[in-house]
A and B are shown apart, each in its own frame.
Chain A
Amino acid sequence: MSLTPLRLGYVPLTDAAPLIVAAELGFAAEEGLSLDLIRLQSWAQSRDMLGLGAIDAAHMLVPLPIAQALRLGPDYPRFELVMVLSVGGQAIAVSAALAEAMRAGGHGFGFGDPVAARQALAAVVPGMLRVGVPFPFSTQAELVRRWLAGSDLDRRFSIHTVPPPLMADALATGEVDAFCVGEPWASYAVERGVGALVLAGRSIWASPPEKGLVLTRDFAEGRPEETGRLMRAVWRACRWLDVPENRTTAAEILSRAEYLNLPPELSERGLMDRLHVSAQGEVRQYPGFIRFHAGAANFPWRSLAALYARRIAGLHGLDEATAMEAAMACFRTDLYRQHLRSAGADLPGASAKIEGAMAHPTAVASEKGQMILGSDAFFDGETFEPPFVGR
């Protein structure tokens, strides 16, 4: 049988695992696809390659297609997010100097308490706190803003874009004082002794969607057959990745020279929920640090699109209601339902939900009866009600 070739762009991060596993472990071949994985160096490059048709699909920051829908990027054909690839996987690190001062002040580096961490940090930051994130439109930027809002640092932090592989350098040279990044780049900074981890992204927001599978509308609607096959292959790879026994194998594959090109020990930390928070080797267990499938992680809730859109609209002076509507339209719950039903995905009754309302994993109505959604609480207790719930 001859396989249909598809070109997929990814940026080297632990959360690129679904695409890499789909290609390496035969999930793509099962669907009659051969995936040509193209390693990209920046999110701008990913966006341009997808926009100009040099790749067919991309592993992309969840807010990036939203920014495109809000016309904050180049004028490319519309981008559609057809499924979420990962939830969590981010960590916040502070410089070695700040970590030392926080420790002297009695902070215990628990990795899970946003209020304690920001209080300890605020006490030792004399002036502005400069925080690195991978891209202006990123879940990391959302996490940092949410974490510091209403704290003593609220009016004295600034956010700067730093490419993930250069985060450790930026911390070492004092270009930034802290950063929020996806694994393995936080662990990489710890390993180099330039910083310490203070928080898991999930401790700020229990279900922060991190990467999505993004296609142009022309592809998603013009080539539905391939779109469906790709989604099913990647969805099965996500399911495989959330079987705990498979995580070591995943770390091995990801670490190869053609993908992350780092020691497997490094990507294993996030994948095995065991993070080294300091160079002294203090280890913190964080169950479910990164999820690829469990808790209906792959469903592209339109309410998530609205939540990011509201933030971006606020920062860029756009009309909130218009922005939320445009953003929700590019989260394709319809394609998710259409293409993944046959793979056995359970499908929720609604396509949007009140974000932040579930403090614990919760059962909701679904096609098969009931499905369990992971907790989606914000540490500050906020709930976000999108427009037109249930649409």
Chain B
Amino acid sequence: MKPLAIIVVEPDRERALRIVDGLRASGDHEITVISEATGLARRIAEHNPDIVLIDVADPSRDVLEDLALVSGPMERPVAMFVDRSDEQMTRAAIEAGVSAYVVDGLQPDRIKPILDAAIARFHMFHKMRAELAATKAALEERKIIDRAKAILMKARGIDEEAAYALLRKTAMDQNRRMADIAQQLVMAAGLLT
């Protein structure tokens, strides 16, 4: 079987590489990455792809919509896969954050492994982003707890361990998170000085 020509539209180099890695694992394809929005329609037409993969939230998606619609009988038809195929897979793809434009008439069994691989990658990006956000939030919380401890140590003349214990007890008594209590304390202290 002839390898499929896949285009990945992705401005971020690191992400593009990861998507390409994921796709390679799903089979033998000719993969091209386009990272520039300028002249996108022309670049895509030059490569004559079977499948175009692009982030759901990429502004250039509307250019692909145009390509999918206007192709006349003389040009190679590019019909949207999201159209009337497997609705569940479409939903899964869009929820993961990837949209796929697929040439008309391509067999579903050839599309599926590629889309599965793309969905897996985009899920990973999503997870990484969520983890990064969580790590950042945790760091922020630690900082604020440290500041609250310092305030308590100074105000009550206690050591660090006692300050921590006091914060934790207050949080438990009020059924609140320690970071919230610390935040309130820091804010109140700011108002008093």
Point out the residues of chain A lying under 8 angstroms from B84, CB to CB: 74-75
Measured CA separation A54–B95 after assembly (Å)? 9
Q: Evaluate contact between A48 and B56: CB separation under 8 angstroms.
A: yes
Point out the residues of chain B lying under 8 angstroms from A169, CB to CB: 37-38
Point out the residues of chain B lying under 8 angstroms from A175, CB to CB: 38-39
Q: Evaluate contact between B94 and A42: CB separation under 8 angstroms.
A: no
In the complex, which residue of chain B has the Cβ closest to the Cβ of A47?
B65
Q: Evaluate contact between B37 and A166: CB separation under 8 angstroms.
A: yes
Q: Evaluate contact between B63 and A45: CB separation under 8 angstroms.
A: no
For chains A and B in complex, what number of residue pairs have CB atoms within 8 angstroms?
71
Cβ contact of A41, chosen from B39, B59, B82, cutoff 8 A: B59
Interface pick from A106-114, A156-164, A274-282, A370-378: A156-164
Q: Evaluate contact between A48 and B62: CB separation under 8 angstroms.
A: no
Measured CA separation A43–B95 after assembly (Å)? 17
Q: Evaluate contact between B69 and A136: CB separation under 8 angstroms.
A: yes
115-170 of chain A: CB within 8 A of chain B: 134-136, 160-163, 165-166, 169-170
Q: Evaluate contact between A136 and B91: CB separation under 8 angstroms.
A: no
Point out the residues of chain B lying under 8 angstroms from A72, CB to CB: 69
Measured CA separation A42–B9 after assembly (Å)? 15
Interface bits B84-126 vs A (CB < 8 Å: 1, else 0): 1001001100110001000000000000000000000000000
Q: Evaluate contact between B38 and A173: CB separation under 8 angstroms.
A: yes
| Number of B positions contacting A (CB below 8 A) | 27
Band of interface residues on A: 20 to 34
Q: Evaluate contact between B66 and A161: CB separation under 8 angstroms.
A: yes
55-90 of chain B: CB within 8 A of chain A: 56-66, 69-70, 80, 82-84, 87, 90
In the complex, which residue of chain A has the Cβ closest to the Cβ of B87?
A75
Q: Evaluate contact between A44 and B69: CB separation under 8 angstroms.
A: no
Between-chain CB contacts (< 8 Å), 23 pairs:
A41-B58, A41-B59, A42-B57, A42-B58, A43-B62, A44-B62, A45-B57, A48-B56, A52-B94, A54-B95, A74-B80, A75-B84, A134-B62, A135-B62, A136-B65, A136-B70, A161-B63, A161-B65, A163-B37, A165-B59, A173-B39, A175-B38, A316-B69
In the complex, which residue of chain B has the Cβ closest to the Cβ of A166?
B37
Q: Evaluate contact between B59 and A166: CB separation under 8 angstroms.
A: yes
Would you call B41 an interface residue if the criterion is a C-beta within 8 Å of the partner chain's C-beta atoms?
yes
Measured CA separation A140–B87 after assembly (Å)? 31
